[in-house]
Amino acid sequence: MFPGIEDEQFIRGDVPMTKQEIRILTIAKAHIRPDSVVWDVGAGTGSISIEAALLAKEGHVYAVERNPEGIRLIGANAAKFGVKNLTAVESEAPQGLSELPPCDAAIIGGSGRQLDPILDMIASRLKPGGRVVLNCITIQTLASCLTYMRAHKKTFSYEAVQVQVNRLQAVGPYDMAKGINPIYIVAGEKI
């Protein structure tokens, strides 16, 4: 099933979901091992949480989401894919993160304008050599993330990539590229 569950296989609703191609890159940047403890902050439908849990079969994934509909979808998707090593945590980050065990990887899909306090909490609870991966949809989030990483260069080394995915769509006898919003992926490793 992994890598890259098809988007259509997830139960969706109106909650945002990270697209398959971005999930694959995000998971790869997180360096998830079979025994990893993973935090997925702003988990949405749980698509990244599900794929992380499938990789960390001996570990555990904590999907932190503030939207009750998202929490319901995370549970439904976990049941659909038979994932038992995932706990949905209904909380607005950074509240609720202090209750979680230290992590090997943290993925931030949404920060609710609380990026710095979330990163501070992750920095304090991420194991040495652990990875934090951020999916930045807006330039403002990217700028905040890079500013944070630069200010904390004794805590994190980091890299950033911009990803633009296009899917071909049939238009009459032709195939036309239909763009998906570009995403910036920032990956930091705790020093």
Note the pLDDT tens digit of each residue in 63-78: 999 999 999 999 999 9
What's this model's pTM, rounded to 2 decimal places? 0.95
Query: Would you give the distance in Å from CA 64 to the centre of its chain?
Result: 10
Do 121 and 97 contact (CB within 8 A), yes or no? yes
Q: pLDDT digits over 78-135, tens only? A: 999 999 999 999 999 999 999 999 999 999 999 989 999 999 999 999 999 999 999 9
- How far are the Cα atoms of 25, 69, 188 from residue 1, in angstroms, in the given order? 16, 25, 27
Domains (ranges, CATH) in the chain?
Answer: 7-190 (3.40.50.150)
